[in-house]
Amino acid sequence: MPQLKRQRTKTLKVKDNGRSADYVTANFIYGCLGGCRDSYCYVMRYNHDKVYINENTEQLLASVAKHADALAWPKRPNQTDPTYYTYDIGCSTDIGLHWKHYDWLQVFAFFRNHPTAKATFATKYVNDKLLDFDPQGKVRIRFSLMPQKMSDLVEPRTSKIADRIAAISRFIAAGYDVHVNFSPIIFCEGWLDDYRELFEQLAAAVTTPAHRAMVQAEAIMVTHNPWQHERNLAAGMTEAEAHLWRPDIQEHKKSGYGSSAVRYARGFKAQLCEEWLAVHDAVIPWNTVRYLF
Ligand code: SF4
């Protein structure tokens, strides 16, 4: 079991992003106890043993305020948000899961009250505790979705996919901006049928035009890593690894951190993206895909 370590981080720098958000804040928490830690989680490639809880929340928020205050206003609209500058607050943990360990109310309230900055994070957990807070549209939660069959294998002990989908309307009603995060997309036999079913579930749950306009998506094909693969096998994740580690259809790439990673081979991946998007657009054409890669 990873060790929880409370500390005051000296790393306060806000980083550029441009995909899930305009920027990524320094970590409020670095590390995760999520059910996918012995599976595809990229955070675990660099930090598997500890969960660092950074207690200097005020300093971390001050760095966001300083960063946001230096940006031109109004913002030029982009795929992350038409109005606000977006900051991912959960790139190295799952905020929905770890809410107990830090002052999430202070962080959410900061973004709700800030005139130009908006928070966003992806989660695999439905945490109704977060419904006690009304972020007035200034916190975006991105529920991660994949077919339940695959979720059972690669992200055990996370919220059921049906529960994540059912949570969308509740979180919108509570004042959250809600998107979905089709990530990671994992190719397997029958995957397009499984995704068709998932899209149909989403269509049945998100029915009003206003909600359909709000709930946009991001979609990311799985990547993996050699030492993570070995460790996952040692942890007994054999069945999951049979899907995650596919040397027959994957190729090496240099990851953003300069370390070794694998992804679906370029031409094959392009074909997968095209097939996935065709099914997506046939079933839920209202769901804007912000990016797919
Ligand atoms: S919930 Fe996210 S951060 Fe946590 S283990 Fe899973 S993928 Fe990693």
pLDDT in tens, 170-191: 999 999 999 999 999 999 999 9
- Closest-CA residue, ligand 1 atom 2, reads 94
Distance 36 CA to ligand 1 centre (A): 5
- Beta carbons within 8 Å of 129's beta carbon, 6+ residues apart: 99
22 Cβ closer than 6 Å to some ligand 1 atom: no
Contact call for residues 26 and 35 (beta carbons, < 8 A): no
- Closest-CA residue, ligand 1 atom 8, reads 41
- Closest-CA residue, ligand 1 atom 1, reads 34
pLDDT above 90: residue 224: yes
User: Mean pLDDT across the stretch 81-96?
Assistant: 97
Closest CA to 111 of 154, 60, 146: 60
Q: How far apart are CA 144 and CA 147, in angstroms?
A: 10
Tell me the best of 29, 40, 41 to mutate to test the pocket of ligand 1, counting ligand atoms within 8 Å of each CB and taking the most.
Answer: 41
Q: How far apart are CA 188 and CA 44, in angstroms?
A: 23
What does pLDDT average to over the chain? 96
Distance 113 CA to ligand 1 centre (A): 28
Residues 181/163/176/37 CA torsion (nearest 10 deg): -50
32 Cβ closer than 6 Å to some ligand 1 atom: yes
pLDDT above 70: residue 149: yes
Contact call for residues 140 and 168 (beta carbons, < 8 A): no
- Residue 1 pLDDT grade (very low, low, confident, very high; cuts 50, 70, 90): confident
At the topology level, CATH places domain 3-292 in pyruvate-formate lyase- activating enzyme (3.80.30)
Give me the half-sphere count of Cα atoms (radius 13 Å) on the Cβ side of residue 101: 21
Tell me: cis bond preceding 2? Omega within 30 of 0 counts.
Answer: no
Closest CA to 181 of 209, 210, 153, 155: 155
User: Mean pLDDT across the stretch 276-283?
Assistant: 98
- Closest-CA residue, ligand 1 atom 7, reads 41
